[in-house]
Amino acid sequence: MATYASGARHLTQSVKSLGGFVVVTLLTFVGLMAITFFIGRVIPIDPVLSVVGDRATQEQYDAAKIAMGLDRPLILQFVSYVGDVFQGNLGQSVSTNRPVADDLARVFPATLEMATLGIMIGVGLGVPLGVWAAARQGTWIDQVIRVFALLGYSVPAFWLGLVGLVVFYANLGWVAGPGRVDIFYDGLVEPVTGLLLVDSAMVGDWDVFWSALDHLILPAAILGFFSLAYIARMTRSFMLDQLGQEYITTARVKGVSEWRVIWTHGFRPIRVPLITVIGLSYAALLEGSVMIETVFSWPGIGNYLTVALLNADMNAVLGATLVIGSVFILINKISDVLYRVLDPRSR
């Protein structure tokens, strides 16, 4: 009976915490909308002017203003904006003449695909390198890894992108050039998720899949290198801190092998701070790297946002900002959940 009672208590507890979780997330999201919306309204860009153009008459201008609802009080505009957003309506983009939501559904997956592969490379190499450097602190291995990571900090993205293209595309021909996929494969696969790799794999069109991967691998590797730099350095410093702890000595006293000392005793406790670092790096990649997207003609959100900003396309800017903000909220929430799973002290 006792187990049933405690099981039920557990369940109500998790439902309660899940409810609190949803409420907090929604509040954060509305806060994000408020900030982006009001910033969008106070900056000196006239959204009406960008719709009607410079040569419209005053009557045309006023009519457009009323049609867009911009004559109403700001707070009412915000309320109707929130309502629209929750119905998936982000307004019309001035520069592409399409609903912003449709545009974002096209550009965000492109960035998502690149950022995801990038962070996988960054974590897959950065974490082991950081741990290795810490375990061999002060040796030449440590120095080489540190210099390598420092390069990732200091080399400009566009330069590395161009050099990467020159070497691996133009000279060696190992990878495909700019763009998401070879031109004759373009539009062959019906977008479902918008992630070309996933979509093509789902319908089994492997030609498209390999072509897309061929195009993706170089920009993703370059993004991965940048996040690797940060992740490896942070891993190294977390790990050095851990390896100086008393319980590492305890493990050595027990006669535990060095491999196990490092990975089981040293690494396990740093998973929690690492999640923060990885989450933030991933979020930064999901913002879209304008440099990389420009160099590789990648139709991602970074590019989209930049073009929208230059065209004073406020609906598009707000929409893209909202998506990026939501990504940050989501990643933070996932980190919170993972903390609890990984650290018994936070349960």
Partner 1 sequence: MTGPLLEIENLRVSFPTPKGRVDVVKGLSFTLGRERLGIVGESGSGKSMTGRAILRLIRRPGRQSADKMIFDGIDLNSLSEKQMRTLRGARISMIMQDPKFSLNPVMTIGAQIAEALKTHERLARRDVKARVLEMLHAVRINDPERVVGLYPHEVSGGMGQRIMIAMMLIPRPDLLIADEPTSALDVSVQAQVLDLIDELVREKGMGLILISHDLNLVARYCDRILVMHAGEVVESCAAADLHKASHPYTRGLLASVPKMEETRDELPVLDRSAWSGT
Decide: is 251 part of the binding site for partner 1 (CB under 8 A): yes
Q: Rounded to the nearest whole angstrom, what is the least distance from the CB of residue 271 to partner 1 in the complex? A: 8
CA distance 228 to 239: 16
Decide: is 342 part of the binding site for partner 1 (CB under 8 A): yes
Q: Rounded to the nearest whole angstrom, what is the least distance from the CB of residue 197 to partner 1 in the complex? A: 35
Decide: is 249 part of the binding site for partner 1 (CB under 8 A): yes
Decide: is 63 part of the binding site for partner 1 (CB under 8 A): no
Q: Rounded to the nearest whole angstrom, what is the least distance from the CB of residue 248 to partner 1 in the complex? A: 9
> What is the DSSP track for 124-173?
HHHHHHHHHHHHTTTSHHHHHHHHHHHHHHHS-HHHHHHHHIIIIIIIS-
Q: Rounded to the nearest whole angstrom, what is the least distance from the CB of residue 253 to partner 1 in the complex? A: 5
SS3 99: strand
Q: How many other CB atoms are found less than 10 A from the CB of residue 69?
A: 11
Identify which of residues 98 and 252 has a Cβ nearer to partner 1 in the complex. 252
Q: Which of 88, 138, 156, 173 binds partner 1 (CB under 8 A)?
A: 138
Q: Rounded to the nearest whole angstrom, what is the least distance from the CB of residue 273 to partner 1 in the complex? A: 12
Query: Could you say which residues in the range 268-307 bind partner 1, by CB under 8 A?
Result: 268-269
CA distance 291 to 40: 24
Under a CB-based contact definition with an 8 Å cutoff, are residues 193 and 106 in contact?
Answer: no
Bridge partners of residue 99, in order along the sequence: 92
CA distance 315 to 81: 10
Decide: is 265 part of the binding site for partner 1 (CB under 8 A): yes
Identify which of residues 59 and 246 has a Cβ nearer to partner 1 in the complex. 246
Decide: is 256 part of the binding site for partner 1 (CB under 8 A): yes
Which residues have C-beta within 8 Å of that of residue 169, sequence separation ≥ 6? 175, 176, 177, 218
Decide: is 247 part of the binding site for partner 1 (CB under 8 A): yes
Q: Rounded to the nearest whole angstrom, what is the least distance from the CB of residue 268 to partner 1 in the complex? A: 5
Size of the site for partner 1 (CB under 8 A): 22
- Backbone phi, then psi, for 92, in 5-degree steps? -100, 140
Under a CB-based contact definition with an 8 Å cutoff, are residues 329 and 24 in contact?
Answer: no
Residues at the site binding partner 1, with contacts judged by CB under 8 A: 138, 245-247, 249-258, 264-265, 268-269, 342-345
